[in-house]
Chain A
Amino acid sequence: GAGVSQSPSNKVTEKGKDVELRCDPISGHTALYWYRQSLGQGLEFLIYFQGNSAPDKSGLPSDRFSAERTGGSVSTLTIQRTQQEDSAVYLCASSPGRRGNTIYFGEGSWLTVV
Chain B
Amino acid sequence: GNSVTQMEGPVTLSEEAFLTINCTYTATGYPSLFWYVQYPGEGLQLLLKATKADDKGSNKGFEATYRKETTSFHLEKGSVQVSDSAVYFCALTVGGSQGNLIFGKGTKLSVKP
Contact = CB atoms under 8 A, between A and B. Distances in A.
Interface residues of B, number: 22
Interface size grouping (class) on chain A: 20 to 34
A102 B49 CA distance: 9
Contacts of A106: 43
B99 A56 contact: yes
A107 B105 contact: no
Interface string A84-100: 00000001010101111
Contacts of A105: 36, 43-45
Nearest to B97: A99
A103 B103 contact: no
B21 to A, nearest CB: 15
Contacts of B97: 31, 50, 97-99
Interface in A10-39: 31, 33, 35
A42 B97 CA distance: 22
A103 B106 contact: no
B100 interface: yes
Interface in A59-114: 59, 91, 93, 95, 97-108
Contacts of A59: 100
Interface string B36-63: 1000001111100101000000000000
13 contacts: A31-B99, A35-B101, A42-B89, A43-B89, A43-B91, A45-B102, A48-B100, A56-B99, A101-B98, A102-B49, A103-B101, A105-B44, A108-B43
Interface of B: 32, 36, 42-46, 49, 51, 89, 91, 96-106
Interface of A: 3-4, 31, 33, 35, 42-43, 45, 48, 50, 56, 58-59, 91, 93, 95, 97-108
